[in-house]
Structure 1
Amino acid sequence: MEVHRARFVDFIPSAINALAFAPNTARPVMACGRANGDIEVWNPKNEWTLEKVIPGGKNTSVEALAWAHQTTLTEEDDFWDSEKEKQAAIKKLVKTPPRLFSAGLNAVVTEWDLTTLKPKRAVDSHGGAVWCMAVNHANTILAVGCEDGCVRLFDIADGELAFIRSFDKQKTRILSLAWSQDDSIMITGSANSSIYKWTVELGRVVSRMTVDRVSGEDTLVWSVKFLANGNIVSGDSLGHVKFWDGATTTMIQSFNSHGADVLCLAAGRDGNTVFSSGVDRKCNQYRLVDQPAPKKTGKNGKNGTINGKTEMVTKWVLAGSRRFHSHDVRALALDESRSVDALVSGGVDVSMVVCPAAQFPDINQRRLPYVPQRPIVSLSKSKRLVMCRQEHGVKVWRLGKSASPVQPFSELEIGAHMDLIEPQQAILEMNFKTDRNLTASALSEDGHWIAVADIEEVKLFRVDESESHPGQLTVKKQKSFPGVRGTGAHYLTFSPDSARLVVASTDSHVVVVDIAQWEMGTFDILRKFGQHRGAGGKQAESMDVDGDDEDIVGGEGQIETIVAMAVSADGQWLATGDLRNRIFVFNLDTLQHHATLPTFDAPLTGLQFHPYSPTLVIPTASNVFYLFNVESRRLTDWSREYSSDKNFPTKFLGLKDKIQGIAFNPARRNTLLVWGANYLCHVDLDQGVGDRNAILNVGKRKRVDRAQDEIRKQQRERRMKKYAALGILPMPELEAGGKAVVVLEGKKGRKVLTTTTNHVGEKEEEFNFQLLHKFQPLMFVDFVGDNSLVVVELPFIKILSSLPPSYYRASYGT
């Protein structure tokens, strides 16, 4: 097989600035804010699944994130007519999804709509850049620390976002803040070597704590936390982690355990565990433990004891340390609940690292893939074009061509290099003058159309070769293209004949646009489907899985973000899926809703049609994929028998990285290639899944087979030596069922025996799923022709080359 390893694609992920878990009263979910303004929403279930990405924009770096989930009523008891009405209101409040707030250097505090991924509300901070943000424990007030040295409070109760008031102004910027357990006290870390203790009711400083200074320079207090017992912990730019008495504001203990700035802290719910990290990349754990008190000798010469027992005191100790990252760690997030149990860290090296908090530092960490979990690469197979979406533009390359091999591919060694007779070529780069990051892009199969979208609009461009300058391309924006009535898109795709554009809009409509009449300036909207808004799902027949004709429909009125879309190779079928796991199939010939698939336990991670049959492949986050025949409205026979976590190979189900896509080789029509960030897996649909415990890794399997062959060879040699010692002549090699004559030499003469053997060697494992880890990490995989595979990789060394130097302190003797 010919493999195009496309490492030339320009894409560098952005640094992580903030991490935040939603309150425990809501479902487990975590937000990750990046330096380019993007906010990723991750679900810890199913080995951490990325649900959605809220797009950022220019000058919208996320410096702080906060979740709010109000569970108590703000009205007085006499407001309610009955206790039943009050309890119904509380129940409704608890079921309301949590709210997400972000802020950064653009001086704007934003609440996000987690369905449309657009700003829901936005208010000015009135104090310049926002460096920190926190919600009180009642989830009714949002506090932000600003550049002008002022803490400002915003009312977020009952869905509001309104300015309340400001605290007394300080002559330095506020870098960190935290609320006490009863929400009556607040502490702030500043850029003037001070930690201030405030009374929230009056907005005034009641006490001040001062950290160490060096050479008269101010120390920056990057992070502060309130512990459950009322004490305070701080991390500063000298690398010190200090513990303070919350009542007297006196220092209890100090640790000089970091070589540089401590940028982030995370505290356990019980207040007995604290984590710290920063510029030196170390992640330290501190525990509150009981220790014998220091020995004190009284006037009578006896050690201080109580009733003959040694006096015990509680102290903080450095319990463990690990180094997970290659560059500065800017954010930590901790969730100790049994369903999550995770300490998450992130920073300049763009990767999130997850490790079990309860077993820190003994258990190994897991690094989540830094490559995009949603596709940003498009492919034109007929024109051999690859397009990659960037924050504010797209870039297109033409694939190179290799010299024909002198021998068949099957006879070449795996990984053999093939000489290029025509290298890849960057043929087009488009940058858009927009303040918002792009959310979707698509390249048509004929290579003449490029569509891009952000959360506000969809743009369409025609690409043709210049008549006056052959070899040069001309790009013309279709100004008459109406878009989707002023809304943006989360997903775009073209039909295979390049005559239609399908848009998954930000308001969860699926819109089919005719672009065949573009020369006349006509772009008709052929149909707009509203199934993902809960509308129209009951009018059509649903997909039948188990042989029943039960009508399975999406929830009425439940709008959700569309995250996957696919068009069949013949252009007849369109499939779309959202974050509620609702999958709808539409007939593009009749422009009617055709079927509704059943929902799965695990979130879907993509959709892909088989190019030679009306079969839809649906991969899920549990690494089980399903095959549906959309014409017969039922699972295929193969999927009915094998698509289950009880049947799939355990090694495949155990892969941490999710299935990100499916590819089909035209030369082997009944096989598929499943791929994730760090693996390729070949599956033959003419076979079963094989032995569930088989070794799937191709390289490892070859090593095991060679080792087993060597063991069998040694055992045979030992048997031959034993037979020779007994006077048994070597037996000729037999085929199964063959006969041989054995001559035994003894004292009484020769004895001739005839024997039959059915020896066929050890039984071999049956296996189908063949894993390959040669190419990684993967951004995109697809075939452009028979046995011709395109693999888009993003090596970590490429990211490292774009990052600033990491912290280094020379030690003695180096």
Structure 2
Amino acid sequence: MSINGRKEPQGGGKQQLHNVRFYTIKPSGIVSMAYSKSSKFLALSRQVLVLELWNLEHAPYLDRVIHLPIGSPIESLAWAGNRLFSVDLGGKLIEWDWVNLKPRYEHSPTGNALWSLDVNPAGTELAVGSEEGHINLLSIENDEITYKSIFNKQNGRVLCLKFDKTGTKLVTGTEGFVRIWNVLKGTTLHTMTLSSKDVIVWSLQFLSDNTIIAGDSAGYVTVWNAENGTQIDHTQVLDKNVFSLAVNEKEDRLVCCGMRPPLIRIFSKTQIKREESTSERWIKYLQRGVHKHYVRSLLVIDGQIFSGGLDGILTVTNSERMGAHVSRHGPFVKGPVASLAPSKKLLLLRYAVSLHLWRLGSAAPQDKDKKKEWGQPLGGSEELVLEQPPKKLLQLNVKKRNFIQASAISPDAKWICYSTLTELRLNRLQINPLQVERLMDLRVAPASHIIFTKQDGLALLHPKNNHLSWFTLKEDGATFKSEVDLSDHCKSIISHLVVSTGADYLVAGTVDKTISVWSLQGKQYKHLLNLPRHLAGITALAMHEDHPRVVVAYANGQIVEYDLANRIFTCETEEYLIPDTKHYPIRGINLDPTNPNVFLVNTETDLYVLERNYDFEPKEQVIKKKTKKLSKETRSSVAANPKSLTLKTQLPRQHLVHVSRLSPNELVNVSISTNNMLAPLPRPYKRKTFGTG
């Protein structure tokens, strides 16, 4: 527990900070990645039944998650424009409706396990490689998937395949061989043998200059001429297993990674002059030691290297020598992972298949006679002696295949509600003695958001139709109160949902950048307005406790505050007010109830204290009732002073997943240590260096 010193003109001051470090998750390894230029989405599959979509338009953030039905994890991914395809070892080829988060079409081309997948540059054909050595060619024109042809069967599973830039040739990799195929006829043009029949080809690249690059299990990268199948270059870049290869758009940088050692090595295409001849070779350029465990998947997007493997961390680094920066995004579940009951100092932590209830620790009271003045500088801290350590009280488990998508504990610690993908449960909680009673009469659809209010209310958002159900909680159970249809103004998936302290306002943010506001009129919520649509995605949303003001953080680092009562913008910062938000978006906003001019925001790596500039007087720019939008001139005048917020303090953290307020002078932050997260994995590979034992 730490105390952070602050000086505020209107309340505030010292803050007690509970550093929760006992939230640990088991990492889920990254298997495959694919990027869409048109939608700027990175599709990512893991070793579990989940498909993640990361938005890369600005700072990378997890935009939406698709939970797979019972089956096998995705083995390979590919985009055809805005259409996303996947194959798995269960033998299914699936096209995903990533707007509604469900499968669109399902096919079983061979009935056997499918290992590899690629789409031709024109986006009209799709090739699939199977366990039995079959290569199926399917047409994806006219928004359909139809069988087209099957190539001559080859020996061994097809672990990787790649179209050339014209779509007329296809290269495949198996155990011991690399083959070039005629796509139109389905016959082999060239067969290239590796150094041994036991060597496995893991990855392939087909460049526009008609050269083929392959990475194999022996740690070698081999370059062939696709015209005649001759070998151009053969270099050992790793001790073992080159799992993935990637090239940039200019095709002058080659990036490879794998198992031993788990280094990302970058090669540059260089012209070499020997006497009167000139040739191009891949020369070692630099390397990045950003992973401790093996790297399975790799992409180069706009000069940035995206990599992931056994540790489950999505890592982004630069492919150039200058301006090197590494950002690591942990494998966390989407949505709030913690909920607080301030009256009892209880913390409910959400895992994939379990809920853990903890009692937070309390500091020993300070002796008033020995109390000393606070001598720490701004942002300073000191450790407090704990009189009572944190204690785990309860653990609720669900079936392994049943993912918990939302959970919450009521402020008075009398109720725990959680929802899986298939059912919702409401439990009555008693602390002394500890007892949990499940209510069997509450039969409602699963919810993606669960909110308890201080007025004994319970709000449940049903993601399939965007309907919000309200219940009143009593000693004998929950009574249905009303339902609010949010779908008229929230057409897509609702990612953020906030209810004001007095339940007077309801604010919803969607993945298509819409922010809608409803106000309580009588006993019903009526739509009030839509905030002007921003260019960047919504990453955090909050409301002041005693003021009808909404605060929004976007993926481009901007923070906006809007007054709902007066319908004016009271604050709008410039892009990347916090420079680090270029790499890590703002994940949470906490507002000081004693001082509305203090903003606490957090990314995955830091907790920041921002303060409103008191010299800044916002002009009253009213939204017109008909359009409910601001003109460009109005928005520019509101944002004319980029110093409407000033960065006061930065507190470094490691994988910060949740920050919330326990009381006006107490904060709780939940963070995960990288070492603790990687502890369940095998020991990292260590390579002996010259002169060491």
Instruction: Tell me if TM exceeds 0.5.
Output: yes
* Contact 1:566–1:575 (Cα < 8 Å) also in 2: yes
1:8 to 22, 31, 35: 22
SS of 2:382 mapped into structure 1: coil
Change (3 A) 1:524 1:144: farther
Q: Which residue of 2 aligns with 1:578?
A: 510
SS of 2:159 mapped into structure 1: strand
Change (3 A) 1:123 1:689: farther
Q: Which residue of 2 aligns with 1:743?
A: none
2:100 to 112, 116, 127: 116
Change (3 A) 1:499 1:264: same
Q: Which residue of 2 aligns with 1:411?
A: 374
Q: Which residue of 2 aligns with 1:17?
A: 31
Whether 2:273 is the aligned partner of 1:292: answer yes
Which structure shows the bigger proportion of residues in helix conformation? 1
Shift of 1:261: 0.7
Q: Which residue of 1 aligns with 2:327?
A: 367
Q: Which residue of 1 aligns with 2:687?
A: 809
Hey, what's the Cα distance between the residues in 2 that align with 1:497 and 1:602?
Answer: 35
2:429 to 439, 450, 464: 464
Q: Which residue of 2 aligns with 1:530?
A: 487
Change (3 A) 1:501 1:163: farther
Structure 1: runs of 5+ lacking an equivalent:
70-97, 296-309, 534-558, 691-764
SS of 2:587 mapped into structure 1: strand
* Contact 1:385–1:447 (Cα < 8 Å) also in 2: yes
Shift of 1:34: 1.9
Q: Which residue of 2 aligns with 1:492?
A: 450
Q: Which residue of 2 aligns with 1:67?
A: 79
Hey, what's the Cα distance between the residues in 2 that align with 1:409 and 1:129?
Answer: 69
Q: Which residue of 1 aligns with 2:624?
A: none
* Contact 1:371–1:778 (Cα < 8 Å) also in 2: no
Hey, what's the Cα distance between the residues in 1 that align with 2:388 and 2:89?
Answer: 47
Whether 2:85 is the aligned partner of 1:105: answer no
Shift of 1:520: 6.5
SS of 1:622 mapped into structure 2: coil
Q: Which residue of 2 aligns with 1:794?
A: 672
Shift of 1:442: 2.8
* Contact 1:4–1:790 (Cα < 8 Å) also in 2: yes
Change (3 A) 1:426 1:155: farther
Q: Which residue of 2 aligns with 1:390?
A: 351
Q: Which residue of 1 aligns with 2:632?
A: none
Hey, what's the Cα distance between the residues in 2 that align with 1:136 and 1:581?
Answer: 32
Hey, what's the Cα distance between the residues in 2 that align with 1:241 and 1:392?
Answer: 41
Q: Which residue of 2 aligns with 1:672?
A: 599
SS of 2:540 mapped into structure 1: coil
Hey, what's the Cα distance between the residues in 1 that align with 2:512 and 2:433?
Answer: 47
Hey, what's the Cα distance between the residues in 2 that align with 1:195 and 1:104?
Answer: 22
Hey, what's the Cα distance between the residues in 2 that align with 1:436 and 1:198?
Answer: 43
Shift of 1:473: 2.1
Which structure shows the bigger proportion of residues in strand conformation? 2
Change (3 A) 1:311 1:187: closer
* Contact 2:471–2:478 (Cα < 8 Å) also in 1: no
2:655 to 777, 780, 789: 777
| Alpha-carbon displacement from aligned partner over 1:206-263 (angstroms, at most 9, x marks no partner) | 43211112xxx71111011111122211000100000011122121110112122100
SS of 2:26 mapped into structure 1: coil
SS of 2:524 mapped into structure 1: coil
Change (3 A) 1:767 1:160: closer
Q: Which residue of 2 aligns with 1:39?
A: 51
Q: Which residue of 2 aligns with 1:159?
A: 143
* Contact 2:543–2:551 (Cα < 8 Å) also in 1: yes
SS of 2:539 mapped into structure 1: coil
Change (3 A) 1:618 1:269: closer
Hey, what's the Cα distance between the residues in 2 that align with 1:411 and 1:575?
Answer: 39
Question: Which of these two proteins has the greater Rg computed from alpha carbons?
Answer: 1
| Alpha-carbon displacement from aligned partner over 1:733-763 (angstroms, at most 9, x marks no partner) | xxxxxxxxxxxxxxxxxxxxxxxxxxxxxxx
SS of 1:571 mapped into structure 2: coil
Hey, what's the Cα distance between the residues in 1 that align with 2:430 and 2:404?
Answer: 26
Q: Which residue of 1 aligns with 2:493?
A: 561
| Alpha-carbon displacement from aligned partner over 1:66-112 (angstroms, at most 9, x marks no partner) | 1112xxxxxxxxxxxxxxxxxxxxxxxxxxxx011223333322222
Tell me which amino acid in the other structure corresponds to 1:445.
P
Change (3 A) 1:378 1:689: farther
Q: Which residue of 2 aligns with 1:303?
A: none
Whether 2:201 is the aligned partner of 1:221: answer yes
SS of 2:343 mapped into structure 1: coil
Hey, what's the Cα distance between the residues in 2 that align with 1:447 and 1:121?
Answer: 45
Change (3 A) 1:520 1:776: closer
Shift of 1:50: 3.2
* Contact 1:664–1:782 (Cα < 8 Å) also in 2: no
* Contact 2:59–2:581 (Cα < 8 Å) also in 1: no
* Contact 2:262–2:295 (Cα < 8 Å) also in 1: yes
| Alpha-carbon displacement from aligned partner over 1:684-731 (angstroms, at most 9, x marks no partner) | 4473579xxxxxxxxxxxxxxxxxxxxxxxxxxxxxxxxxxxxxxxxx
Aligned pairs (5 A) from 1:438-453 = 438-453=404-419
Q: Which moved more, 1:418-427 or 1:257-266?
A: 418-427
Q: Which residue of 2 aligns with 1:709?
A: none
Q: Which residue of 1 aligns with 2:621?
A: none
Shift of 1:656: 3.5
Whether 2:551 is the aligned partner of 1:620: answer no
1:140 to 124, 129, 146: 124
SS of 1:776 mapped into structure 2: coil
| Alpha-carbon displacement from aligned partner over 1:789-814 (angstroms, at most 9, x marks no partner) | 11111111112212222223334532
2:281 to 315, 329, 333: 315
Q: Which residue of 2 aligns with 1:204?
A: 187
* Contact 1:504–1:562 (Cα < 8 Å) also in 2: no
* Contact 2:335–2:406 (Cα < 8 Å) also in 1: no
Of structures 1 and 2, the one scoring higher in RCO (CA 8 A, sep 6+) is 2
Q: Which moved more, 1:177-186 or 1:201-210?
A: 201-210
Q: Which residue of 2 aligns with 1:300?
A: none
Hey, what's the Cα distance between the residues in 1 that align with 2:616 and 2:132?
Answer: 63
Shift of 1:440: 2.8
Q: Which residue of 2 aligns with 1:282?
A: 263
| Alpha-carbon displacement from aligned partner over 1:368-389 (angstroms, at most 9, x marks no partner) | 4326474222222223222222
Structure 2: runs of 5+ lacking an equivalent:
1-14, 618-642
Shift of 1:670: 4.7
Tell me which amino acid in the other structure corresponds to 1:783.
R
Shift of 1:334: 2.1
Shift of 1:568: 0.5
* Contact 1:55–1:438 (Cα < 8 Å) also in 2: no
Q: Which residue of 2 aligns with 1:703?
A: none
* Contact 2:613–2:644 (Cα < 8 Å) also in 1: no
| Alpha-carbon displacement from aligned partner over 1:135-180 (angstroms, at most 9, x marks no partner) | 1122122222222322223332222234444333333211111112
SS of 1:178 mapped into structure 2: strand
SS of 2:198 mapped into structure 1: coil
Q: How many residues align?
A: 644
* Contact 1:401–1:423 (Cα < 8 Å) also in 2: yes
Change (3 A) 1:109 1:379: farther
2:134 to 139, 150, 157: 150
Change (3 A) 1:520 1:767: closer
SS of 2:678 mapped into structure 1: helix
Aligned pairs (5 A) from 1:43-62 = 43-56=55-68, 60-62=72-74
Change (3 A) 1:159 1:382: farther
Q: Which residue of 2 aligns with 1:346?
A: 308
Shift of 1:436: 4.8
Hey, what's the Cα distance between the residues in 1 that align with 2:537 and 2:645?
Answer: 27
Q: Which residue of 2 aligns with 1:745?
A: none
Tell me which amino acid in the other structure corresponds to 2:603.
G
SS of 1:607 mapped into structure 2: strand
* Contact 2:448–2:460 (Cα < 8 Å) also in 1: no
2:573 to 641, 644, 653: 644
Tell me which amino acid in the other structure corresponds to 1:565.
L
Hey, what's the Cα distance between the residues in 1 that align with 2:541 and 2:137?
Answer: 45
2:589 to 662, 666, 670: 662
Q: Percent identity?
A: 25
Shift of 1:570: 0.8
SS of 2:127 mapped into structure 1: strand
Shift of 1:342: 2.4
* Contact 2:27–2:678 (Cα < 8 Å) also in 1: no
Q: Which residue of 2 aligns with 1:74?
A: none
* Contact 2:604–2:653 (Cα < 8 Å) also in 1: no
